[in-house]
């Protein structure tokens, strides 16, 4: 049985090496921090999409505007078909008077808009609550063009631009994170090469006195993992600062949508910390295969 | 303890073998000088015993084990049994005497209390008591080589290889290092020393193995550096 390595001396060697290559270490930390901040931002934007979706799905409805000339028989038949439809949980009829009341309530802050509209201008409608709001497209397809139906409106479609906006930002963040990840890889690869060169006598002595391969490699992996962890810490701090100063202070005043909560922020912060440490350690192990003879 | 049977080592770029069908046996507790001109194969001989190189043909055995049969992951265990010192000392400049010696134990996983016990003992044994906290650049060449010997010996190897350990030292200092190696041999360590130090070989009259162009040309008990008397 080969004696296990001792953690203390291995850590000390790794940290000493970090200090010796301080400028390169700082470069790696900054690159990793930017990469992980972008990755975390992308993940938080996706969390925000889920938060908005969860909030609005309970509230949005599919609205079937009825023709003004629809007969009560046609309307009843349509309502009966909808109640029998497994996609539909509830059907409510809203006549022109109620539609007008809702309209005036929704536009109470815009009297110019409300003043030019009367109850006759607004259609009566059947307002549907769906079992699964994500399947609204099927309802729109099935009921558009039926007798007595003017048009079928999916309120969720109104949110599509918001979703596209958030999605585009998330994808952009991921792409930039990937570019930064590549830069981080190149830097870490170089850092290991420089470090292996600078410590070639030390590793030669370790090999000579019978240190195991794992012990010889471990300080390099520690060195890389520590830079990754520091990068991850800065990224986590940036994300937490964004939550405090951007989300809670700035955006919270500008929107009525719920914003992502601290649970998501903590999860992502811990995630980038772990990813930072593990990925940089793994990258070091890859670089060592080329630059360290054991 | 060490047995080479028809060992040949041919480097890819070499015109002729560095070692050519060498067969030799060294028993436990021996002190052996390995002599021969530069390029005769002395360093290759030692590197094969460390499994730093593998033979092109033949069998190298250390302590009854065929080195070719040892899996790579077990090679560190071999190197804890077969230590080596070099002409250029190979000390770590940013570590003190004690730090250099302790390094060998720390990176092989020895517990701290063992390090604390063994390091002062071995530093004392090599005659450097009181200089534990000096750095290599504060020591003479002879003292640096003593540190290298202490580092090699602190793990209590069964075999100590020395590749021209006196090559960088003046004759008087070289002779002190030889006395040190002799002392380690007398407490049971097998010593194989490659050297050009004719005076030392002649003075000690130990077994001499001479290589020339990779071939073993002389194996003499109580031999001398040059031709047999």
pLDDT tens digits, A44-98? 888 888 787 777 777 778 888 888 888 888 888 888 888 888 888 888 888 888 8
Query: Are A6 and B110 a contacting pair at CB < 8 A?
Result: yes
Six-digit token string for B92: 């770590």
Quick one: pLDDT at residue B229? 43
Quick one: pLDDT at residue A213? 87
Among B43, B76, B136, which would you mutate to test the A interface (most chain A Cβ atoms within 10 Å of its Cβ)? Answer: B76
- ipTM summary value: 0.89
For residue A241, how many other CB atoms are within 10 A of its CB? 10
Q: What is the spatial order of strands in the sheet that A88-94 belongs to?
A: A88-94, A125-130, A62-66, A149-154
For chain B, which residues score pLDDT lower than 50? Answer: 228-229
Six-digit token string for B188: 């049971």
Measure in Å the smallest separation between the Cα of B178 and chain A Cα atoms. Answer: 21
Residues whose CB is less than 8 angstroms from the CB of residue A107 and which lie 6 or more positions away in sequence, other chains included: A113, A114
| Coil, strand or helix at A128 | strand
Six-digit token string for A246: 């951007």
CB of A241 less than 8 A from some CB of B: no
Query: Are B77 and A207 a contacting pair at CB < 8 A?
Result: no
Q: Which residues of A touch B103 (CB under 8 A)?
A: 9, 205-206, 209
pLDDT tens, residue order, chain A (294 aa): 455 677 888 888 888 888 888 888 898 899 999 999 998 988 888 888 878 777 777 777 888 888 888 888 888 888 888 888 888 888 888 888 888 888 888 777 777 777 778 888 888 888 888 888 778 888 888 888 888 888 888 877 777 787 788 888 888 888 888 888 888 888 888 888 888 888 889 999 999 999 988 889 888 888 889 999 999 999 999 999 988 888 888 777 777 677 788 888 999 999 999 999 999 999 888 888 877 765
Q: Closest Cα to residue B145, out of B156, B160, B158?
A: B160
Q: Closest Cα to residue B48, out of B173, B204, B211?
A: B211
Q: Closest Cα to residue B44, out of B160, B163, B189?
A: B163
User: Which residues are B59's β-sheet partners?
Assistant: B5
CB of B156 less than 8 A from some CB of A: no
CB distance B121 to A223 below 8 Å: no
Residues A271 and A282: their CA atoms lie apart, in Å, by: 16
Half-sphere exposure of A179 (CA within 13 A, CB side): 6
Quick one: pLDDT at residue B228? 47
Residue A151: φ, ψ to 5°: -160, 160
Quote the DSSP letter at residue B32.
E
């Amino acid at each position: 049985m080969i004696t296990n390595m001792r953690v203390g001396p291995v850590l000390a060697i790794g940290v000493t090496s970090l200090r010796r290559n301080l400028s390169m270490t700082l470069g790696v930390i900054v690159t990793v921090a930017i990469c992980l901040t972008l990755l975390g931002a992308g993940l938080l934007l996706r969390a925000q999409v889920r938060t908005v979706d969860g909030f609005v799905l309970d509230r949005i409805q599919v609205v079937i505007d009825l023709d003004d000339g629809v007969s009560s028989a046609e309307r009843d038949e349509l309502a009966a078909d909808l109640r029998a439809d497994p996609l539909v949980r509830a059907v409510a009829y809203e006549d022109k008077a109620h539609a007008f009341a809702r309209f005036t309530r929704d536009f109470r802050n815009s009297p110019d808009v409300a003043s030019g509209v009367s109850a006759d201008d607004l259609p009566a409608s059947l307002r549907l609550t769906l079992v699964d709001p994500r399947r609204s497209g099927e309802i729109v397809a099935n009921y558009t063009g039926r007798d007595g139906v003017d048009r079928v409106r999916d309120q969720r479609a109104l949110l599509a631009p918001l979703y596209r906006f958030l999605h585009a930002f998330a994808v952009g963040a991921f792409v930039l994170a990937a570019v930064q990840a590549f830069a981080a890889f190149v830097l870490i690869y170089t850092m290991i090469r420089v470090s292996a060169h600078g410590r070639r006598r030390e590793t030669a002595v370790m090999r000579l006195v019978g240190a195991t391969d794992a012990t010889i490699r471990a300080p390099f992996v520690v060195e890389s993992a520590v830079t990754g962890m520091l990068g991850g810490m800065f990224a986590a701090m940036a994300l937490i600062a964004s939550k405090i100063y951007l989300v809670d202070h700035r955006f919270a005043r500008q929107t009525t949508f719920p914003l992502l909560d601290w649970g998501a922020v903590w999860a992502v912060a811990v995630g980038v910390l772990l990813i930072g440490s593990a990925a940089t350690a793994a990258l070091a192990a890859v670089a060592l295969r080329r630059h360290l003879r054991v | 303890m060490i047995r080479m049977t028809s060992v040949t080592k041919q480097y890819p770029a070499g015109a002729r073998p560095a070692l050519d069908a060498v067969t030799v046996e060294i028993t436990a507790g021996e002190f052996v000088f390995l002599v021969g001109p530069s390029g005769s194969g002395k360093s290759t001989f030692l590197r094969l015993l460390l499994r730093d190189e593998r033979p092109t043909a033949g069998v190298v055995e250390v302590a009854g084990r065929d080195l070719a049969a040892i899996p790579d992951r077990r090679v560190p265990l071999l190197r804890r049994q077969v230590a080596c010192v070099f002409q250029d000392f190979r000390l770590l400049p940013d570590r003190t005497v004690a730090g250099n010696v302790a390094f060998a134990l720390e990176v092989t996983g020895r517990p701290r209390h063992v390090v604390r016990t063994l390091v002062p003992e071995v530093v004392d044994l090599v005659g450097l008591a009181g200089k534990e906290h000096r750095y290599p650049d504060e020591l003479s060449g002879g003292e640096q080589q003593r540190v290298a010997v202490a580092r090699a010996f602190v793990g209590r190897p069964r075999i100590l290889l020395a590749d021209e350990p006196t090559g960088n030292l003046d004759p008087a200092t070289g002779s002190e290092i030889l006395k040190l190696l002799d002392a380690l041999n007398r407490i049971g360590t097998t010593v194989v020393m490659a050297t050009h130090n004719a005076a030392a070989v002649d003075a000690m009259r130990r077994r001499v193995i001479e290589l020339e162009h990779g071939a073993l040309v002389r194996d003499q008990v109580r031999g001398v550096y040059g031709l047999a008397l």
